[in-house]
A and B are shown apart, each in its own frame.
Chain A
């Protein structure tokens, strides 16, 4: 960067590069900075420079003491508002204000104050980058660690799992939604900008959310399975599981946690009843209970065939 102490002469010599009035900053800050700033020209913010009257100070404040370092001060004071790690000690409310000054009325922020991100002091700059041109302006501060995916896109989950570490592990499990493959996004189910539903899910309930994609599970069915109708997450973990079909626990154990009766529901299926047995137990091998009780999400089969989800 140019010598910051000569900004008065530099400023007059420099023209605005992206936004009206940005010479005040771009006299010193350019692509040679640790954090190159001029990439903003290629973002939608830069593209909209004429349509919306914004400039550097719209977000960073007038920052007079930063521009004109007071005499006797060893280190140049920071701008009034800084973002990212350098702004860690600046309250989220302060850091979100420059964004909300323009975007506060955006429809997708209708429930911002109601969401957990606001409650947990997650600010816009916790996830978004402003100066770097991207299809999706999200932070990516680390290398990608996943099996090979043939996508050129930056995947959204890498931003979310920087904080949601438990989800990072779940997404990598053998049974998962195709999120690390880039076919689904966290925001297909959650609204990080706030929601009135628990876990900031986009729909009014977990089941309504799940069946918006899995419409074959909507029914209505002649014979319902009560826990299925109440909450998909009773049996499934939507982020990932080491068990097939995103199940929280392995059948038959998962089923037996609720179902006990004479004969097979109350029988334990032992380690010597798999394919190593003379006659493998049909309630343990393959899909266990689901080998027979197959329409477990609900069925239209009649009489006892439906009552026990056999058809």
Chain B
């Protein structure tokens, strides 16, 4: 019995884990991606205090480890409650990556290029640690009125990786660059209101700030060197900017209205702002005279500072009713508006700066859009065990985009549920979505020789016209005492019917099976098998030779236009040649997962649990080119697009020595295999003279085999 009248009981565990990886494991980051399985001490505590009026729950685990978790909750029943927590999340991507740069961990990366001797490079871990510390307090004093405050601070520290083309364009290779992550996000919110069974109204205000200690990364560009004039200069990559978000939301509902109705609504207003100076120069190399050295080159923005200002406004309303015993309805209305008040910036670099956009000034694009969504669901209970639900949903989205400015979605849904057998619940769903969009590029380009002309045929799948059909069935059965069978099947087909260039179709076929037997308190076994097949079909146009605008045939057309010997190259309906042709890709992903697990309380003292998980993913791409084209690069299919195999086995045993003492021991085997065209045979450099690419090894060696043994002794009180 504690002084505060709380009666405590709980458990404290102390132990250790020993993890050993096989000799072939080059990088343990994937093994420890979100887990800290390194050999060391394990600990946890779970303490509950109960009083006549108060409670206090204290939980902590993995103390001192990278994935430590602490959670304290308490309060007085009906009067107030509080919570304090600390959740540490690691994200290990690659250990022992390497880079030719010095200054890793700072915002300035220096190097002397070329340097293809990886023995001289510096090592770093591509990994971040997130520490989320926060608290909450809520008081209601056993009344409908309540007030709540939440506050937390999230610190992200470590190193991430950013690429970037060498020189002035992607044609000159690229270089991996580690940049320091030193982010802090602070959130504080307050909510107050009235909540009863007949109605609720609350107001919530949030203040959130994000700060980044390094908003610019300065780095030596391998294309400019060695010893060339300007090779001592640094290139610049921009990193996430500081920002501040303030938000107010009002939530409410009214219940017990006529026809068993409930009206619920929400209004929100959120404003995100920032302010920073615009880069007025950046490393470049003037196009003339030939051989000009690289130099910090003026970008000539039309303003010196960027005042970011984005406002999100939403209005939501939902009316639920029971007009008859067998009928329930829901009507909803959702308005969303994103107003981007940030300035559009025009950069006017000189014609020779190598900084122009398609030979002209660069004008930035910022997006605003608004969305109206209205819909209804009507549920009808045919009899005690049969129910059908009809749904209609309409979305009208208007956006500031150069290709599609308006999209309208119509979605019709019918769902059926049957529980006529006490041992079987069956569900079926069909949904049809029709999306129609207003395309703005139908007249793009003056002629089929103009690069802009191609935009007449490109329809981006996120906004293009689509017909979607979705079928879903599900069964949950208990055919006999202690037996459970679950089945779910999904078929989904998207037909981007009016798309010429871009994604034209995608399909999903998914099957999920599970079979369970037994009583979880005694012996329970579960088996599941999941199969997923996804296919993306797309059509594209290759235009590999265009005019350089020198004025002599075949380049006697403007720069970037079709050469005079291959006219109308930007029209996909033009007959193919070896330089200009259409091609299509079929991208298939196949995923398989099989799992079996069992929990067994063998005796009063002994408990066992075990699981085996097998996963496989296969990705492939097949290519085909337009008849009449015989490109120099053959269409070799890709057979290893994120192919993975994982085997995870766990065996755990718990021995109850007494009511006070318990011992847990376990073994885990974890194996991961990865094969991918982008990494199989990986090298740290791609030699190409001044266009040599410098890689870090990120994601290149994730294979591992790990054996973990752990032991925890638990004292209960």
Task: Assess whether A280 is interfacial by the CB under 8 Å rule.
Answer: yes
0 or 1 for each of A119-157: is its CB under 8 Å from B? (1 = yes): 111000000000001010000111111111111110000
0 or 1 for each of A15-54: is its CB under 8 Å from B? (1 = yes): 0000000000000000000100000001010111011100
Q: How far is the CA of A300 from the CA of B528 in the complex (A)?
A: 47
Chain A residue at minimum C-beta to C-beta distance from B249? A204
* Chain B residues, Cβ within 8 Å of A119: 328, 330, 377, 379, 389
Chain A residue at minimum C-beta to C-beta distance from B674? A174
The distance from the CB of A198 to the nearest CB of chain B, in whole angstroms, is 8
Is A306 touching B362 in the complex (CB atoms < 8 A)?
Answer: yes
Is B42 touching A196 in the complex (CB atoms < 8 A)?
Answer: no
Q: Known contacts being A148-B37, A150-B42, A220-B342, is A302 close to B355, with CB within 8 Å?
A: yes
0 or 1 for each of A171-206: is its CB under 8 Å from B? (1 = yes): 011100010011110000000000011000000110
Task: Assess whether B327 is interfacial by the CB under 8 Å rule.
Answer: no
Task: Assess whether B701 is interfacial by the CB under 8 Å rule.
Answer: no
Task: Assess whether B352 is interfacial by the CB under 8 Å rule.
Answer: no
Q: Which of B102-110, B458-466, B550-558 contacts A (4 or more CB under 8 A)?
A: B458-466
Task: Assess whether B246 is interfacial by the CB under 8 Å rule.
Answer: no
The answer, among A51, A243, A266, for a CB contact under 8 Å with B541, is: A266
Q: How far is the CA of A287 from the CA of B437 in the complex (A)?
A: 32
Q: Which of B21-29, B111-119, B287-295, B678-686 contacts A (4 or more CB under 8 A)?
A: B678-686
Is A152 touching B478 in the complex (CB atoms < 8 A)?
Answer: no
The distance from the CB of B578 to the nearest CB of chain A, in whole angstroms, is 13
Q: How far is the CA of A243 from the CA of B596 in the complex (A)?
A: 25
Is B197 touching A104 in the complex (CB atoms < 8 A)?
Answer: yes
Q: How far is the CA of A7 from the CA of B77 in the complex (A)?
A: 33
Chain B residue at minimum C-beta to C-beta distance from A178? B34
0 or 1 for each of A82-106: is its CB under 8 Å from B? (1 = yes): 0001001101000000001000111
The distance from the CB of A186 to the nearest CB of chain B, in whole angstroms, is 15
* Size band of the interface chain B makes with A: 35 or more
The distance from the CB of A224 to the nearest CB of chain B, in whole angstroms, is 5
Is B347 touching A302 in the complex (CB atoms < 8 A)?
Answer: yes
Chain B residue at minimum C-beta to C-beta distance from A288? B678
* Chain A residues, Cβ within 8 Å of B35: 147-150, 181
Is A226 touching B34 in the complex (CB atoms < 8 A)?
Answer: no
* Chain B residues, Cβ within 8 Å of A149: 35
Q: Known contacts being A114-B318, A121-B387, is A268 close to B583, with CB within 8 Å?
A: yes
* Chain A residues, Cβ within 8 Å of B237: 294-295, 301, 311
The distance from the CB of B224 to the nearest CB of chain A, in whole angstroms, is 15
Is B238 touching A274 in the complex (CB atoms < 8 A)?
Answer: no
Q: How far is the CA of A174 from the CA of B301 in the complex (A)?
A: 43
Q: How far is the CA of A47 from the CA of B512 in the complex (A)?
A: 40
Is A148 touching B650 in the complex (CB atoms < 8 A)?
Answer: yes
The answer, among B163, B215, B526, B646, for a CB contact under 8 Å with A143, is: B526
The distance from the CB of A143 to the nearest CB of chain B, in whole angstroms, is 4
Is B345 touching A287 in the complex (CB atoms < 8 A)?
Answer: no
Is A168 touching B543 in the complex (CB atoms < 8 A)?
Answer: no
* Chain A residues, Cβ within 8 Å of B174: 282, 291-292
* Chain B residues, Cβ within 8 Å of A12: none
Is B266 touching A223 in the complex (CB atoms < 8 A)?
Answer: no
Q: How far is the CA of A226 from the CA of B46 in the complex (A)?
A: 47
Is A274 touching B195 in the complex (CB atoms < 8 A)?
Answer: no
Is A290 touching B77 in the complex (CB atoms < 8 A)?
Answer: no
The distance from the CB of A304 to the nearest CB of chain B, in whole angstroms, is 5
Q: How far is the CA of A275 from the CA of B273 in the complex (A)?
A: 44
0 or 1 for each of A227-267: is its CB under 8 Å from B? (1 = yes): 10111001000000011100001100100111111111011
Task: Assess whether B540 is interfacial by the CB under 8 Å rule.
Answer: yes
* Chain B residues, Cβ within 8 Å of A184: 89
Task: Assess whether B699 is interfacial by the CB under 8 Å rule.
Answer: yes
Task: Assess whether B385 is interfacial by the CB under 8 Å rule.
Answer: yes
Is B316 touching A197 in the complex (CB atoms < 8 A)?
Answer: yes
Is A216 touching B683 in the complex (CB atoms < 8 A)?
Answer: no
Task: Assess whether B441 is interfacial by the CB under 8 Å rule.
Answer: no
0 or 1 for each of A207-226: is its CB under 8 Å from B? (1 = yes): 01000110111111111101
The answer, among A165, A291, A293, for a CB contact under 8 Å with B488, is: A165
Task: Assess whether A305 is interfacial by the CB under 8 Å rule.
Answer: yes
Q: How far is the CA of A152 from the CA of B377 in the complex (A)?
A: 41
Q: Known contacts being A133-B48, A258-B460, A266-B541, is A166 close to B210, with CB within 8 Å?
A: no
A-B CB contacts (within 8 Å), total count: 499
Q: Known contacts being A267-B542, A294-B162, A294-B237, is A145 close to B613, with CB within 8 Å?
A: yes
Is B320 touching A150 in the complex (CB atoms < 8 A)?
Answer: no
Q: How far is the CA of A183 from the CA of B213 in the complex (A)?
A: 25
Q: Known contacts being A105-B196, A110-B253, is A143 close to B609, with CB within 8 Å?
A: yes
* Chain B residues, Cβ within 8 Å of A260: 454, 457-458, 501-502, 540-541
The answer, among A110, A120, A196, A310, for a CB contact under 8 Å with B195, is: A110
Task: Assess whether A117 is interfacial by the CB under 8 Å rule.
Answer: no
Most chain B CB neighbours (cut-off 10 Å) among A89, A169, A273, A293:
A169
Is A107 touching B462 in the complex (CB atoms < 8 A)?
Answer: no
The distance from the CB of B219 to the nearest CB of chain A, in whole angstroms, is 10
Is A303 touching B349 in the complex (CB atoms < 8 A)?
Answer: yes
Q: How far is the CA of A148 from the CA of B91 in the complex (A)?
A: 16
Task: Assess whether B286 is interfacial by the CB under 8 Å rule.
Answer: no
The answer, among A42, A143, A146, A285, for a CB contact under 8 Å with B686, is: A285
* Chain A residues, Cβ within 8 Å of B210: 215-216, 218
Q: Known contacts being A50-B52, A113-B262, A220-B342, is A88 close to B419, with CB within 8 Å?
A: yes
Within 8 A of A (CB), among B250-283: 251-253, 255, 262, 264-266, 268, 270, 272-274, 276, 278-280, 282
Is B310 touching A279 in the complex (CB atoms < 8 A)?
Answer: no
* Chain B residues, Cβ within 8 Å of A148: 35, 37, 648, 650, 666, 668, 670, 708
Task: Assess whether A284 is interfacial by the CB under 8 Å rule.
Answer: yes
Within 8 A of A (CB), among B309-323: 309-310, 312, 314, 316-318, 320
The answer, among B173, B587, B613, B633, for a CB contact under 8 Å with A147, is: B613
Is A292 touching B637 in the complex (CB atoms < 8 A)?
Answer: no
Is B197 touching A105 in the complex (CB atoms < 8 A)?
Answer: yes
Task: Assess whether A9 is interfacial by the CB under 8 Å rule.
Answer: no
Q: How far is the CA of A167 from the CA of B16 in the complex (A)?
A: 32
Q: How far is the CA of A266 from the CA of B623 in the complex (A)?
A: 13
The answer, among B48, B59, B314, B540, for a CB contact under 8 Å with A256, is: B540
The answer, among A89, A110, A151, for a CB contact under 8 Å with B384, is: A89
The answer, among B236, B364, B530, for a CB contact under 8 Å with A311, is: B236
Within 8 A of A (CB), among B554-595: 560, 569-570, 583, 585, 587, 589, 591, 593, 595
* Chain A residues, Cβ within 8 Å of B241: 219-221, 300
The answer, among B78, B243, B264, for a CB contact under 8 Å with A114, is: B264
Q: How far is the CA of A219 from the CA of B274 in the complex (A)?
A: 8
The distance from the CB of A82 to the nearest CB of chain B, in whole angstroms, is 12
Is A89 touching B385 in the complex (CB atoms < 8 A)?
Answer: yes
* Chain B residues, Cβ within 8 Å of A42: 9, 48, 50
* Chain B residues, Cβ within 8 Å of A152: 13, 44, 46, 61
Chain B residue at minimum C-beta to C-beta distance from A216? B240
Q: How far is the CA of A100 from the CA of B255 in the complex (A)?
A: 12
Is B451 touching A173 in the complex (CB atoms < 8 A)?
Answer: no
Is A135 touching B46 in the complex (CB atoms < 8 A)?
Answer: yes
* Chain A residues, Cβ within 8 Å of B338: 229
Is A302 touching B282 in the complex (CB atoms < 8 A)?
Answer: yes
Given contacts A107-B193, A262-B543, 6 further A-B contacts (CB under 8 A): A135-B46, A152-B61, A215-B154, A260-B502, A270-B623, A270-B634
Q: Could you name 6 residue pairs across A and B whose Cβ atoms are closer than 8 Å? A: A47-B55, A107-B195, A151-B69, A173-B591, A196-B266, A282-B174
List chain A positions with a Cβ less than 8 A from chain B. Answer: 34, 42, 44, 46-48, 50-52, 85, 88-89, 91, 100, 104-107, 110-111, 113-114, 118-121, 133, 135, 140-153, 165-166, 168-169, 172-174, 178, 181-184, 196-197, 204-205, 208, 212-213, 215-224, 226-227, 229-231, 234, 242-244, 249-250, 253, 256-264, 266-268, 270-276, 279-280, 282-288, 290-295, 299-307, 310-311
Top 8 A-B residue pairs of the complex, sorted by shortest distance between their CB atoms: A220-B308, A275-B681, A143-B597, A271-B636, A216-B240, A178-B34, A148-B668, A113-B320
